[in-house]
Amino acid sequence: MRAREAGIILGTLPPGTTNSIADVAGVRVGHTTLIRGNGALVRGVGPVRTGVTAILPHDDDLFRLKVPAAASVFNGFGKTIGLVQLAELGQLETPILLTNTLNVGRVADALVAFMVERNPAIGVTTGTVNPVVCECNDGFLNDIGGRHVGEQEVRAALTVAPGTPVLEGNVGAGTGMTTYCFAGGIGTASRCLSPAQGGYTLGALVQSNFGRCGDLIIGGVPVGRELEEQRQKRVAQHVGQEPGREQGSIIVVLATDAPLDARQLGRLARRVPLGLARTGTSGGHGSGDLAIAFSTADRIPHDAGPLVRSVQVLNEQNPAIDGLFAAVVETTEEAVINALCTAHSMDGRDNHWAQALSLVETLAILKRYGRIQ
């Protein structure tokens, strides 16, 4: 059950129709989920609790018609591919793929093959392609060294049909993830600005794998601390988290139909930590945390054209920019909580166990604090 379905209302801006990143027209999300085996770890065999998630900004040829984009790294304990060129050019020319840490190379290779197949000129009569792949570490539950995500799994995620609902929880790249010491994974949310502020939509999708149980805050309520006290810290022990230390990572992808250039998108991405902080994290040393933001309002042609190109961008003197900042904070917060609310308990290698957040206990705590009816 998603947070809003359970009665947990976060923020004040209205969500889009599906309250997901797919509310931004043209954006699609595909998952390939791998779950097989149990018991003792056998490297290269399993147990397997992993996958890949693809975020596609539009239905056109993304290499030929790029979109403006930016990234913000607020804790660089990560192993991504493609952010250097993204930062330099401010353009996204491939889908964004999410997977586990040791699968980044295989996933990037599969993404390059996918792009070359659709654009045979790549590396022949035109330049090469910049694959963007991000990761979190699912090694607690998954045979991460087996690198089980390959070309077949990547292609399956990339061929998602338009209009497909965005699945959440421990699916795709979120399959083996934990959040605040509970089962975690993929979460998403969206917000809509008022007509006076352009009526723009902004959506967020997270690959959530971070946080200590006692730090979890939902709607301003110290839910994690209450749960630890109630259950004598058994939850934190179940997922093997080192007491007193935050570990893991989070990747946040922002999409909007607001006409923003790369500099403005960078400003959005840098607001993501404000939303994460609302959930209780302090961004621990071992947590790799970054955000990528893109706009679907512009198509940047790959081929050489006129000497100059006219582009419309949002006037930052208009209050709409503040509305977008608020939307980033609210969608980031709600996407993390949705990942927690929708994930189910997951076993893993060597009988490791990630327990799902109990909505019954969580709602009882929120009611006691007067946060929900």
Contacts with 210 (C-beta within 8 Å, 6 or more apart), sequence order: 179, 180, 246, 247, 248, 249, 250, 281, 284, 287, 289
**Given 20, 190, 208, 287, the catalytic residue:** 287
What pLDDT score does 372 carry?
A: 87
Q: Compute CA 5 distance to the chain's CA centroid, rounded to the nearest angstrom.
A: 21
Half-sphere exposure of residue 158: CA atoms within 13 angstroms, side-chain side: 22
**Given 72, 190, 208, 249, the catalytic residue:** 249
Question: What is d(CA 182, CA 186) in angstroms, rounded to the nearest whole number?
Answer: 13
| Token digits of residue 232 | 């004598």
Cβ(364)–Cβ(6) below 8 Å? no
Phi, psi values for residue 114, rounded to 5°: -60, -45
What pLDDT score does 242 carry?
A: 46
Question: What is d(CA 232, CA 225) in angstroms, rounded to the nearest whole number?
Answer: 10
CA separation, residue 131 to residues 43, 92, 128, 266, 347 (Å)? 28, 9, 10, 19, 32
What pLDDT score does 231 carry?
A: 72
Active-site residue, 289 included:
yes
pTM for this prediction:
0.96
Cβ(304)–Cβ(358) below 8 Å? no
Q: Is residue 208 classed as helix, strand or coil in its secondary structure?
A: strand
What pLDDT score does 312 carry?
A: 94
Active-site residue, 287 included:
yes
**Given 138, 289, 295, 298, the catalytic residue:** 289
Tens-binned pLDDT, residue by residue, of the chain (373 aa): 999 999 999 999 999 999 999 999 999 999 999 999 999 999 999 999 999 999 999 999 999 999 999 999 999 998 999 999 999 999 999 999 999 999 999 999 999 999 999 999 999 999 999 999 999 999 999 999 999 999 999 999 999 998 999 999 999 999 999 999 999 999 999 999 999 999 999 999 999 999 999 999 999 999 999 999 887 644 444 444 445 577 789 999 999 999 999 999 999 999 999 999 999 999 888 888 999 999 999 999 999 888 999 999 999 999 999 999 999 999 999 999 999 999 999 999 999 999 999 999 999 999 999 998 7
Question: What is d(CA 368, CA 366) in angstroms, rounded to the nearest whole number?
Answer: 5
Q: Is residue 30 classed as helix, strand or coil in its secondary structure?
A: strand
Matching residue, tokens 């809003």: 4
